[in-house]
Structure 1
Amino acid sequence: MVSIKDIAKHAGVSISTVSYALNGNPKVTEETSKKILAVAKQLNYVPNAAARTLKKRETKIIGAYLTTLEGAFYGELLQGMKEELNKRDYDLVICSGTQSHRMLPEGMLDGAIILDRLFSDEELLLHAGRGHKLVVLDRELSHENIVQVLLDNKAGATFAIEYLIRQGHKKLYVVTGPEGSFDSDQRLAAVRQAVERGGPGLTYNEIPGNFDKASGVSAARRILAEYDGPAAVFCQNDEMAIGVYQALKDTPYRIGEHLHVVGFDHIEISDYLQPRLATVDYSERRWGALAAEQLIKLIACEGAEHERVYVSLIEGESVGRIE
């Protein structure tokens, strides 16, 4: 690999003069600068990004850590992050898996946005204690170098259950997310509280899921196996709700008549389901943009603040009224 020493040797100047010229420093005359740049081009010189990072102590790169890349949820979230970061001359890299965790302590990132269950709280607090700037989307942590940008999971789950109860439903199921998921735990806690307030005559069951279509298919098959009349199903995300639709496709049972379904996330594909899916709505793109905005403020020491992303309920024909 060509170094600035090689350029200096070919151009007959000092290493410091080459460095000034490559960085556009006015200490070097225009004639000398042109000569050095020509030699650099001739030698196919490529700047050493790692060395430059060590000198400036910045990379202008932000990491987004995700547990998985599966599903339709992440596209809008990441696009929101990317657009906001690009406005501020930062680039985004997507990270997944424990090996990528070393990018933080090795100084390859200026900060990170975390939506990754593989990061323990202890590990994140350790990084924050060493000065790394973090925004978390999937947990509550208290540290001066950590900002929380959280979805209002409890409000969304409450909206869903109260909607089903208002429609007259007495037999309720909830299909949960994976064990240890912050979002799932928050939603489940709110569901249990809403059911307790729902009054007498309610029956309630929890079915473990994994935030994927397969979980929805499995949950629907269990519900149909014990079916004895109309049942309401709150799927903790739209992917699982789509799985419920899929499971009923070749059966005599119908969404909105036999099974009444509410999802969460309002992913784009849910708008094309028939009957239209009732779901908890918020802007994934806005969530990503808020996370990026607060991380840049944290890096720049500009008064970053915790944020909450608010949600609303979109009613749909997937839920009918029970008289």
Structure 2
Amino acid sequence: MVSIKDIAKQAGVSISTVSYALNGSPKVTSETSAKILAIAKELNYIPNAAARQLKKQESRIIGAFLTDFTGAFYGDLLQGMKEVLNRKGYDLIVCSGMQSHRLLPERMIDGAIILDSTFSDEELLDYADRGHKLVVLDRELNHPAVNQVLLDNKAGANLAMDYLIGTGHRKLYVVSGPADTFDSRQRMIAVRQTLDRHPELEAIIIEGDFNKGSGEEAGRIILERNEGPAGVFCLNDEMAIGLYNYAASKGVRIGEEISLVGFDNIDLTQYLEPRLATIDYSKYRWGAMASEQLLRIIGGEEVEHERIYVSLIEADSVQRRSAD
């Protein structure tokens, strides 16, 4: 690999002069700089990014850490992150898996946006103690170097449950998400609080995993019980679509025998007929806000925690029932 020492030797100048020229310093005359740059191009010189990063103490790269890439959820979220960062001269890399955690202690990135359950709270707090700048989307952490941009999961779950109850449903199923995810835990807290306020309801919790397959399995369980009309709240749209498809395969029309509400308002829901009722929020805005907050922290500004608010989209997948 060609080094600046090789360029200096061919140009007949010092290593420091080559370094100044490559970095555009006015300490080198335009003639000398042009000569050095021409030799660097001729030798196919590639700058050592790691060395340059150590010198400048920045990479101009932000890492977004995700648990996985499955489902239709992440596109708008990542686009919101990317556009804000690009406008400020930063690039975004998207990471998943335990090995990617090394990017933080090795300081290959200037900051991180975390939506990744493989990080423990203790690990993130340790990074924050060592000066790393973090924004978390999937947990509550109290640290001056960590900002929270959290989805209002509890409000969304309350809206979904109140919608089913308000349309006369007294028999309810709830399809939960993975127990190790913040969003699922928060939504289930709100679900149980709602059920505590309505002891007259019959409610059954079915364990899911936020993937379409678990929605299909929930649909099988519900239809096998065959106990008449019911209201179902799936804690995300992926599972709701799985349940929707399973019901359709068995000749059961959503909105008639089963009323169904999802959560996330992913693009696929708008193509269902009848349309799926769901909880809506701007995934683009969530990602953009995360990037904005992180850049403020990197810039030394004080920031407050932010919350992404939600709303209910009513649709024909939920039909009003007469009270039992």
**TM-score, normalised on structure 1?**
0.99
| Equivalent residue number for residue 184 of structure 2 | 184
Cα deviation, residue 296, structure 1: 0.5
1:250 is displaced (CA, Å) by 2.0
Structure 1 residue 302 and structure 2 residue 301: aligned? yes
Q: Distance in 2 between matches of 1:130 and 1:229?
A: 58
Following TM superposition, by how much is the alpha carbon of 1:233 offset from its aligned partner in structure 2, in angstroms?
0.5
Q: For 1:267-306, list aligned pairs within 5 A.
A: 267-306=266-305
C-alpha distance in 1 between matches for 2:43 and 2:128: 42
1:101 lines up with 2:101 in the alignment: yes
Paired with 1:138 and 1:244, the residues of 2 have a C-alpha distance of 26
> Using the alignment, how far apart are the partners of 2:251 and 2:10 within structure 1?
81
Q: Which residue of 2 aligns with 1:207?
A: 206
The residue aligned with 1:172 is: 172
Give RMSD over aligned pairs: 0.7
Q: Are the equivalent residues in 2 in contact too, given 1:152–1:311 (CA < 8 A)? A: yes
Aligned mates of 1:6, 1:61 — CA distance in 2? 29
Q: 1:76 matched to which residue of 2?
A: 76
1:153 partner amino acid: N
How far did residue 304 of structure 1 move? 2.2
Q: How far apart, CA to CA, are the structure 2 residues paired with 1:252 and 1:264?
A: 24
The one-letter amino acid paired with 2:300 is C
Amino acid at match of 1:314: I
Can you list the C-alpha shifts for 1:82-108, whole angstroms capped at 9, x where unaligned? Answer: 001101111000110001101100010
Ranges in structure 2 where 5+ consecutive residues have no aligned partner: none
Query: How far apart in 1 are the matches of 2:119 and 2:81?
Result: 20
Aligned to 2:244: 245
Counterpart amino acid of residue 161 in structure 1: M
Tell me the residue number matched to 2:226.
227
Match of 1:256 in 2: 255
Could you say which residue in structure 1 is the equivalent of 2:65?
Answer: 65
**2:217 partner amino acid:** S
1:24 matched to 2:24: yes
Deviation at 1:252, TM superposition (A): 2.9
Letter in 1 for 2:160: A
Measure, in 2, the Cα distance between the counterparts of 1:291 and 1:262: 27
The aligned amino acid for 2:210 is F
Q: CA deviation at 1:192?
A: 1.0
**Corresponding residue SS for 1:72:** coil
Find the aligned partners of 1:252 and 1:168 in 2 and give their Cα distance: 24
> Which position in structure 2 is the counterpart of 1:48?
48
Q: Tell me the CA shift for residue 243 of structure 1.
A: 0.3
Q: Which residue of 2 aligns with 1:321?
A: 320
Q: Which ranges of structure 1 fall in alignment gaps of 5 or more residues? A: none
Q: Residues 79-94 of structure 1: matches in 2 within 5 Å? A: 79-94=79-94
Cα drift, residue 31 of structure 1: 0.6
**SS of alignment partner, residue 168 of structure 1:** coil
Which residue matches 2:140?
140
**How many equivalent residue pairs?**
322
Structure 1 residue 251, shift from structure 2 partner: 1.3
Overall identity of the aligned pairs, in %: 66
> Partners in 2 of 1:236 and 1:250 — Cα distance?
22
Q: Give the aligned partner of residue 15 of structure 1.
A: 15
Amino acid at match of 1:255: I
Question: How many angstroms apart in 2 are the aligned matches of 1:79 and 1:305?
Answer: 23
Contact kept? 1:276, 1:316, Cα under 8 Å: yes
Contact 1:295 1:304 survives alignment (8 Å)? no
**CA–CA distance in 2 between the matches of 1:287 and 1:260?**
29
**Secondary structure at the residue paired with 1:169?**
coil
1:113 corresponds to: 113
Cα drift, residue 201 of structure 1: 2.9
1:109 Cα deviation from its structure 2 partner? 0.7
2: distance between equivalents of 1:306 and 1:142? 10
Note if contact 1:169-1:231 (Cα within 8 Å) is conserved in structure 2: yes
CA distance in 1, matches of 2:27, 2:220: 75
Once the two structures are TM-superposed, the CA of residue 302 in structure 1 deviates from its matched residue by: 1.5
- Aligned residue identity for 1:225: E
Q: SS at the partner of 2:94? A: strand
Amino acid at match of 2:261: V
Question: Which amino acid in 2 is paired with 1:283?
Answer: S
Distance 1:203 1:12 in 2: 86
| Kept after mapping to 2: 8 A contact 1:78/1:288 | yes
CA distances 1:5-42 after superposition (whole Å, capped 9, x unpaired)? 11000000011111111111111001101110111011
